[in-house]
Amino acid sequence: MDPRSKYPGPEYDGGDLEPPGLTGQMPQRPDHGEESYQGSGRLAGRKAVITGGDSGIGRAVAIAYAREGSDVLISYLPEEEEDARETAQLIEKAGRVAALVPGDIREESQCRAIVDRALSDLGGIDILVNNAAYQMAQPGGITDITDEQFDRVMKTNLYAMFWLCRAAVPHMQPGATIINTASIQAYQSSSALLDYATTKGGIVAFTKALAEDLADKGIRVNAVAPGPIWTPLIPATMPEKKVKSFGCDTPLGRAGQPAELAPAYVYFASQESSYTTGEVLGVTGGKPVS
């Protein structure tokens, strides 16, 4: 199949969404692999935690992990409950345990609670996917970024990742994996997303340093760097003009779909990547990550 036309290109219609945005409110809903992803037992018996697992990339990863045989805990904001329950139904339909943990990961106590729930509800934690993120485009640049926004982006994207890893690592056995969601913004940073791009660059550095730190424990750490991916976050945080043309500047000429990201997360979670740690895999529609 021609990758340029596998999914619709611009113009995209995300609807009039308020942050964080709900999938059901999008006139043009993303594809999370609900109908297409087929598992083959690559994660049989594993126990995974996915932040931001209610929608977008997180939902696609949750579906894929469940169909590969993993039980899944998803964390999400309380206002995303509707999306979270839809994701849980898809996990359970695959015959796996679905644990739901609402709350704001900007609080360290919430990050510890997520790990505690994984231990109690799933019986352990083998895979940690730090996927939740916040962005808010500011076309005016740095002078339009408030202290409140900067703090929210840093706490959601960086602090929470640190807190979750610190809480989870003591409970992870050799063979466990940590997968962080970076971004094309770490390599091709946009002025309108200055604070978000800063955190994504930090995630790349954190991934490489943590991989070295945990190698002697047999725990691998890698990252996926998505390009422009069609999720509720886009229409909820970007100007309408940018939404309509979202992804058209990629070599493939369109935005990616969450379903196109899931296989990368499965690869890093499975034994197929047993000799890979400290790496960043770009899924960007052809934009370079270097």
Asked if 283 contacts 256 with a C-beta cutoff of 8 angstroms, the reply is: yes
Instruction: Say whether pLDDT at 16 is over 80.
Output: no
Which CATH number is 135's domain given? 3.40.50.720
pLDDT at 28: 85
Q: What is the pLDDT of residue 96?
A: 98
Yes or no: say if 258 and 31 are a contact pair by the CB < 8 Å rule.
yes
Looking at the structure of the chain, the number of domains it has is: 1
Return phi, psi of residue 132, to 5°.
-60, 140
Task: Count CA atoms within 13 Å of residue 87 on its CB side.
Answer: 35
Q: Examine residue 228 and state whether it is found in any structural domain, yes or no.
A: yes
Q: Average of pLDDT values for 187-214?
A: 97
Quick one: pLDDT at residue 68?
Answer: 98
Q: What is the mean pLDDT of the chain?
A: 95
In a domain, 50, yes or no: yes
Q: Categorise residue 259: left if φ over 0, alpha if ψ from -120 to 50, beta otherwise.
A: alpha
Query: Is 136 inside any structural domain?
Result: yes
Residue 237, both tokens: 């945080």
Residues 80-134 have pLDDT tens digits of 999 999 999 999 999 999 999 999 999 999 999 999 999 999 999 999 999 999 9
The reported pTM is 0.95
Tell me which residue range forms the domain holding 92.
23-283
Examine residue 18 and state whether it is found in any structural domain, yes or no. Answer: no
Q: What is the dihedral of CA 193, 196, 200, 203, to 10 degrees?
A: 170
Q: Is there a domain that residue 290 lies in?
A: no
The catalytic site residues sit at 196
Between the alpha carbon of residue 150 and those of residues 96, 230, 239, the distances in Å are: 38, 23, 19
- The verdict on residue 72 lying in a domain is yes
Report how far Cα 274 is from the mean position of its chain's Cα atoms.
Answer: 21
Using CB atoms within 10 Å of the CB of residue 49, give its burial: 0 to 12 exposed, 13 to 18 middle, 19+ buried: buried
Q: What is the pLDDT of residue 151?
A: 98
**Within a domain: residue 288?**
no
Phi first, then psi, for residue 280 (nearest 5°) are -120, 125
* 3 belongs to a structural domain: no
Compute the distance between CA of residue 134 and CA of residue 126 in angstroms, rounded to an integer.
25
pLDDT tens profile 230-276 = 988 788 878 888 888 899 999 999 999 999 999 999 999 999 999 99
Question: Considering only 22-36, 146-160, 187-201, 258-272, which range has the smallest mean pLDDT?
Answer: 22-36
**pLDDT at site 290:** 78
